[in-house]
Structure 1
Amino acid sequence: MPFSIDFLDDGRVLEWEATAYGAVATERDDYAPRFYVAARNPEADLDLRTLESVYDQHPDVAATETVARRPGFRRDEETVLAVDVAHIDRVTPLARQARQLSDYPVGDLACYNVDFSREFRYCLETGVDPTPASELSTLRLSVPVSETSNDVYGELSVAGDTVTGSPTDILTAVQGALEAYDPDVLVCSTSEIVPTLYEMATDAGVDDFSLSRWPDVDYQQLASRSTYSSYGRVGHSPARYNVPGRAIIDESNTFFYGETNLDGVLDLVSRSNKPVQELAWASIGNVLTAIQICEAHERGVLVPWNSWRHEFYKPMGTLHDADRGGFIFAPEVGLHENVHELDFSSLYPNIICTRNVSPDVIRCDCHSDREDVPGLGYSICDDRGYLVDVLQPIIDARDEIKAAIRHEKEQDDPDEDRLVELEGRSGALKWILVACFGYQGFSNAKFGRIECHEAINAFAREILLTAKRQLEAGGWRVVHGIVDSIWVTPDPDVDDENREDLETLATEITERVEIRLEHEAHYDWVAFVPQRESDAGALTKYFGKVSVEDEFKIRGIEARQRSTPQYIENVQRSCLEQLDSTRSPEAVLRHLEKTIERLHAGEVPVEELVERNRVTKPLEDYSQNTQNVAALNRAREQDLAVHPGQDIEYVVVDDENSSRDRVALAHESIETYDPFYYETQLVRAIESILSPLGWDRTDIKRELTGERQSGLVEYNSAPNK
């Protein structure tokens, strides 16, 4: 089972298999990638013979044949044209040429199985399983931020050891590590390390330097860098490179490796047929699509190049009813004691599987008289949808992994390596399950359908309302609920002997809705935070003390925000501990005052004040002199390339300054910081903690300056809003 597949310029393919004695390459010279051409609509008249004769004369076409395939889940088998291509790089150009033929007598055609990534296509078409048969060896190469724009590195971390000196010194250290570790995977802080090392070797006259395991090819560039926008968020995709015989994981361009670990990546490799290197750079949607494509392939269904599914007709009233999200109960602002959190296990994926919600069966023609979706009247076919077959194995696998994690943690001497593996795998599967719902409403999803998105939300609203009614009937009061979670506390108007056991109620609700309702946590207290400019509760901002455990659950406030400096997070968490132990806002403010004094005394390490913010556009497009602009100006001054979609890290040293001297970049030698700026950030963070108790920023500042009058609001008298 090869863990990596390389494509050479002459058309040969190298399959690399990891063994206990190193990687072994197998050459293939008979592989021809394939795409398909079919009528765009089943009733369209497509002249396949003319099209076939055109392709047979093309120098990039290896062969053609007419075969029977399904151009869609809602279409039966039809005669389509299969086009075998001489080289994998020519698939997309040939498909583009086919589109142009739609303007001629050939007919209205569509292309299928076109835009697959290279290694994934190979595994799909040849039946190769890219799951490594042996453990993969790794080697990490990391370059400091200050070196990233240099053509020659003066410093490089190799397997955790920092190497400095001449290019020859650095290249020798890298070559020595390659010989010592013989890595199957190169983990790079940035993929630009690959071409830079080769350029250094050329300039230094080091002829025998090579990262590659194949003597004839050093490296290949697979894609150039690009900036993109998705749902209003700017992202950056760096250039991608390939080194024959080794998979590259670019730490600046990997989601699953960054959010989980190599075990999580390998678990998804086995489910998606995307080898390690492609899985590492792929997005959640990309991996989910690959798993769906594998299921479609098993069913003989082709994959459209572009999604052109129209939205089914529906009356205006149905449009209004369908255009809603999950059900949300507005949180009761304030601090609530003795709170229990209940969560539906993988609610949206389980709705898909228990209600058979799938693009190929929603609003089917054969059951158009039925109203299976509550409130919308959509029908769902009795035939099992393909999406159920995609998700049910993942749901079952994650349940098994979570059970194994619980079992391991209950042991007197838990196996930490085993826990790391299980948690990595569980985290990877979690992200796939999280994304499967939203992807149904994504306009570019290969197999998504907006009616699925609407139906899932409709079922979810009904399920949460059912749970609310049953919990309240059992003597519990709902203080908050959002999508798949619900928080309850004992109803004070119900006697304890008349209140039903919460575990029993959860079991009854589970049986009724056919999705497991789990007791997530018991809290000594939970505080729901108001919105900044309103008394209404913020839907996703809350914090609470977990009962019996020495931990807090925090959502939405500064300690969970990626841009928050470490010092601000530490102070906010320590103030939470003060609130828990003293139940006094004044005690929290006394602790805050001490941290502010330490801040003004210059005792806070500057590395704990680093902010990380995303760059959303080129420097020239900013109209205000923000901190990001100051940081970008400093980066440009140092010839550091920071592209839209990337993060920039800095410390605020003089917030009143409007020039680049307002901040210092995190990698610079920083001797001072702006204490007044960070004091403001601290006050804002503590406002998040005390606002549920009736304190706002003005109250906090008055207390800190000694201007607040006596009669302060005490914890026990603070109203629950």
Structure 2
Amino acid sequence: MTFTIDFLDDGRVLHWTATEDGATATVDAAYTPRFFVASRDPAAAPDLTPLQSFYERHPDVVETAIVTRRPGFRRDPEPVLAVDVEHIDRVPTIARQARQHPAFPLGDLACFNVDLSPEFRYCLETGIDPTPAAELHTLRLSVPATATEGEPYEAVTLDERRIEGDPTEILPAIQAAIDRRDPDVLVCSSSQVVPTLYEMASNAGFADFNLSRWPDVDYQQLASRSTYASYGRVGHSPARYNVPGRAIIDESNTFFYGETNLDGVLDLVSRSRKPLQELAWASIGNVLTAIQIREAHDRDVLVPWNSWRHEFYKPMGTLHDADRGGFIFAPDVGVHDDVYELDFSSLYPNIICTRNVSPDVIRCDCHRDREDVPELDYAICDDRGYLVDVLNPIIDARDEIKAQIDRERARADPDADRLRELGGRSDALKWILVACFGYQGFSNAKFGRIECHEAINAYAREILLTAKERLEAGGWRVLHGIVDSIWVTPDPTTDEPADLETLAGAITDAVDIRLEYEAHYEWVAFVPQRERQAGALTKYFGKVAGRDECKIRGIEARQRSTPAFVEATQRACIDRFAETRDPDAVLTVLDTAVSKLYAGDLDPQRLVERNRVAKPLEAYSQNTQNVAALERAAEQDLSVHPGQDVAYVVVDDEKTSRDRVALAREDPDSYDPAYYETQLLRAVESVLAPLGWDRERIRRERSDGRTPELSAFDDGRLTDSTR
């Protein structure tokens, strides 16, 4: 089957099929992409003849036709205008002209199937399945993270083999690997590797260099780099490139490949019909949309270009009740013994499926008098919603994969490769299920509706309250609960609490969603918020019962910006606390770490901080460490775009100039120990805060003549071996 698709400038399409001996290309010269135009108002039936006549005279339009389709899940089939375009790149421009046609008042017409990604569109319209039938051959091509964009590489790594030298040594080695392996997939540390290598080949006069499988095209640029904002965070999307005949996975611009593996990505390819290269750079919402579009396509429903769904009318009281999230029980700050964590299995996706929450059936006209949704009294139609058909197969598939993982692990000699494959597939489906709820309230969702988002939250609140009431009635005390997880411990006022497994089964039957045993902890520490004593909702750590491990969530050791040495110190403190439950033992670990800082024998690379840049250098008004790092980068002609990370070591935090920090790529040989001591104190405060200790108390205890003990590190957690 096809695994990648190329669009040539002359309009021809190449779809490539992987074989044991390489790949074969099929040329499609007759393909023409199609979009549709219909009335925005389902009650109106405008005459589309003037628009059809306009498009029939358009030089970029191949054919037009009046066909019958459904412009929405809530609309019956009706006549719409289909427009076949000569080249895929022209679809948005030509579609825009429909909305500007003088024969129709502005806003009367809507366009459909316009902004589909090219490879996905081709598969959808031609019925091609892009799931590879043969195993794909891959080659990983990476360059050092410190490589400057646009400059020739001095080293590259081909899979595990590192090659150093000038272009006359590097390029032939890459070409030899390409010729020998003939990979179907190029896994690049950045897709910028592709144009840079070709530029190196041109400057070095290496005319035989070629990554492509198609003789007439070396590579294509598919998109320029861009900066975007999502949920309050700034992100950066690098430029995307294509090499004909090979799928490119850009490790700097891939979610699913980074969070799962190739098996997980290919599982989603089979479900979404979104080819490998497009799926690798796609977001969770983008892939979920593709799966939804497949379901819509099977029902003859068109895909809107822009979302225009209005909210249904709500009285003020309903609006107040609807504008809430999932239920949260504030954590009981402190250290608690004998704690059990229970999770509802895929709570939000299962709410959608068991309660039939779907944009096409919520608040239907046929059941206006019903009050199905708790608190909100929305009606939900008895007809099966399309979203249920989208998610049910994914839920069932993940449950089956998890069962296969359990069976494989139970074998005397489990197959590591099989477990890796199943784990990747399970994780890929998990992310789709995680996102399906929030996507219903996303303003740009193709088929979302805010009322679905509100209804799912209302059901989730009711379910968690039901679980709390039944657990407490069974003799268990609830320590914390958030959205779909709940932590309990035996109630000391109860002589003998009910069997937890039996109780979880009863709750499962009551809410029709499985309540699963997630973990048992010898103890759990819930961490307070930094500036107040209220519990932080997602910060805790605990000793897993029967295992030599601690589970850590939310605190510094789990934060991406934390330097490696600070993370290692905090983990060592937690381990020592688990062994002794003694704050003094934790402070001994801290004292030794601080001594190592001031002794100056730490590798500065273990103190590197990585922070995301939110805006261009000139937009900052304060002299922060990030600004100092950006100034150093600009001084060295390095481009750091909003949404990208900047990595640095603080070398003198008293300064306000660019000399305050050194970039990680500069390989600094010094650091500011006082600054990193503060970072260590902050990390250790998170460990001792559940006991009521704040940073000031930690400082006081340390100033009372304490002497660091190297024996605190006899397990090697913070020795040079961990660098």
Query: Which letter maps to 1:665?
Result: L
Q: Give the match for residue 623 of structure 1.
A: 621
Contact 2:131 2:275 in 1 (8 A): yes
Give me the TM-score of the superposition, normalised by structure 1: 0.96
Q: Give the match for residue 335 of structure 1.
A: 335
Mapping of 1:308-387 within 5 angstroms? 308-387=308-387
Change beyond 3 A, Cα 1:704–1:24 = same
Q: What is the DSSP-based 3-state SS (H/G/I as helix, E as strand, rest coil) of the residue aligned with 1:145?
A: coil
Q: Give the match for residue 415 of structure 1.
A: 415
Query: Which letter maps to 1:419?
Result: L
Contact 2:467 2:507 in 1 (8 A): yes
* CA deviation vs aligned residue, 1:482-510 (integer Å, no higher than 9, x gap): 100111111111112xx210000000000
* CA deviation vs aligned residue, 1:124-180 (integer Å, no higher than 9, x gap): 011101001111111111122332323322222223322232222221111111012
Q: Give the match for residue 685 of structure 1.
A: 683
Q: Give the match for residue 651 of structure 2.
A: 653
Q: Using the TM superposition, give the Cα deviation of residue 228 of structure 1 relative to its aligned residue in structure 2, in angstroms.
A: 1.0
Q: Give the match for residue 672 of structure 2.
A: 674
* CA deviation vs aligned residue, 1:353-406 (integer Å, no higher than 9, x gap): 000000000000000100000000000000000000111111111111111112
Give me the TM-score of the superposition, normalised by structure 2: 0.96
* CA deviation vs aligned residue, 1:546-573 (integer Å, no higher than 9, x gap): 1001111111111111111111111111
Contact 2:100 2:106 in 1 (8 A): no
Contact 1:48 1:106 in 2 (8 A): no
Q: Give the match for residue 573 of structure 1.
A: 571
Q: Give the match for residue 549 of structure 1.
A: 547
Q: Using the TM superposition, give the Cα deviation of residue 105 of structure 1 relative to its aligned residue in structure 2, in angstroms.
A: 6.7
* CA deviation vs aligned residue, 1:70-114 (integer Å, no higher than 9, x gap): 000000001001111111111111111111116647982110000
Q: Which moved more, 1:88-97 or 1:159-168?
A: 159-168
Contact 2:99 2:107 in 1 (8 A): no
Q: Give the match for residue 243 of structure 1.
A: 243
Mapping of 1:594-609 within 5 angstroms? 594-609=592-607
Contact 2:35 2:112 in 1 (8 A): yes
Q: Give the match for residue 714 of structure 2.
A: none
Q: What is the DSSP-based 3-state SS (H/G/I as helix, E as strand, rest coil) of the residue aligned with 1:274?
A: coil
Query: Which letter maps to 1:567?
Result: F
Contact 1:213 1:245 in 2 (8 A): yes
Q: Using the TM superposition, give the Cα deviation of residue 330 of structure 1 relative to its aligned residue in structure 2, in angstroms.
A: 1.0
Mapping of 1:530-549 within 5 angstroms? 530-549=528-547
Gaps of 5+ in 1: 709-721
* CA deviation vs aligned residue, 1:307-356 (integer Å, no higher than 9, x gap): 00000001000000000000001111111100111100000000000000
Mapping of 1:406-485 within 5 angstroms? 406-485=406-485
* CA deviation vs aligned residue, 1:383-438 (integer Å, no higher than 9, x gap): 00000011111111111111111222222221111111111111111111110000
Q: Give me the CA root mean square deviation.
A: 1.3
Contact 1:439 1:448 in 2 (8 A): yes
Query: Which letter maps to 1:279?
Result: L
Q: Using the TM superposition, give the Cα deviation of residue 272 of structure 1 relative to its aligned residue in structure 2, in angstroms.
A: 0.8
1:287 paired with 2:296, answer no
Query: Which letter maps to 1:587?
Result: A
Q: Give the match for residue 521 of structure 1.
A: 519
Q: Give the match for residue 588 of structure 1.
A: 586
Q: What is the DSSP-based 3-state SS (H/G/I as helix, E as strand, rest coil) of the residue aligned with 1:521?
A: strand
Q: What is the DSSP-based 3-state SS (H/G/I as helix, E as strand, rest coil) of the residue aligned with 2:665?
A: coil
* CA deviation vs aligned residue, 1:592-647 (integer Å, no higher than 9, x gap): 11111112112322222111110000011111111111111111122211100011
Contact 1:44 1:107 in 2 (8 A): no
Change beyond 3 A, Cα 1:105–1:50 = farther
Partner Cα separation in structure 1 for residue 568 and residue 343 of structure 2: 29
Query: Which letter maps to 1:372?
Result: D
Q: Give the match for residue 662 of structure 1.
A: 660
Contact 1:541 1:556 in 2 (8 A): yes
Query: Which letter maps to 1:460?
Result: A
Partner Cα separation in structure 2 for residue 103 and residue 512 of structure 1: 58
Contact 1:39 1:107 in 2 (8 A): no
Q: What is the DSSP-based 3-state SS (H/G/I as helix, E as strand, rest coil) of the residue aligned with 1:3?
A: strand
Match of 2:704 among 703, 706, 711: 706
Q: Give the match for residue 113 of structure 1.
A: 113
Partner Cα separation in structure 2 for residue 535 and residue 154 of structure 1: 53
Query: Which letter maps to 1:425?
Result: R
Partner Cα separation in structure 1 for residue 93 and residue 354 of structure 2: 42
Q: Using the TM superposition, give the Cα deviation of residue 669 of structure 1 relative to its aligned residue in structure 2, in angstroms.
A: 2.2
Q: Give the match for residue 19 of structure 1.
A: 19
Partner Cα separation in structure 2 for residue 625 and residue 470 of structure 1: 54
Q: What is the DSSP-based 3-state SS (H/G/I as helix, E as strand, rest coil) of the residue aligned with 2:146?
A: helix
Q: Give the match for residue 260 of structure 2.
A: 260
Q: Using the TM superposition, give the Cα deviation of residue 477 of structure 1 relative to its aligned residue in structure 2, in angstroms.
A: 0.6
Contact 2:605 2:667 in 1 (8 A): no
Q: Using the TM superposition, give the Cα deviation of residue 528 of structure 1 relative to its aligned residue in structure 2, in angstroms.
A: 0.7
| Number of matched pairs | 706
Q: Give the match for residue 217 of structure 2.
A: 217
Change beyond 3 A, Cα 1:487–1:216 = same
Q: Using the TM superposition, give the Cα deviation of residue 183 of structure 1 relative to its aligned residue in structure 2, in angstroms.
A: 0.7
Query: Would you identify which runs of 4 or more consecutive aligned residues in structure 1 move more than 3 Å?
Result: 102-107
Contact 2:50 2:103 in 1 (8 A): no
* CA deviation vs aligned residue, 1:271-302 (integer Å, no higher than 9, x gap): 11111100000001100100000000011100
Partner Cα separation in structure 1 for residue 15 and residue 557 of structure 2: 46
Q: What is the DSSP-based 3-state SS (H/G/I as helix, E as strand, rest coil) of the residue aligned with 2:101?
A: helix
Contact 2:69 2:300 in 1 (8 A): yes
Q: Which moved more, 1:535-544 or 1:101-110?
A: 101-110
Contact 2:64 2:83 in 1 (8 A): yes
Match of 1:613 among 601, 611, 631: 611
Partner Cα separation in structure 2 for residue 539 and residue 666 of structure 1: 33
Partner Cα separation in structure 2 for residue 83 and residue 400 of structure 1: 43
1:162 paired with 2:177, answer no
Partner Cα separation in structure 1 for residue 705 and residue 316 of structure 2: 58
Change beyond 3 A, Cα 1:47–1:560 = same
Gaps of 5+ in 2: 707-723
Q: Using the TM superposition, give the Cα deviation of residue 44 of structure 1 relative to its aligned residue in structure 2, in angstroms.
A: 2.4
1:504 paired with 2:502, answer yes
Q: What is the DSSP-based 3-state SS (H/G/I as helix, E as strand, rest coil) of the residue aligned with 1:15?
A: strand
Q: Which moved more, 1:405-414 or 1:46-55?
A: 405-414
Mapping of 1:267-306 within 5 angstroms? 267-306=267-306
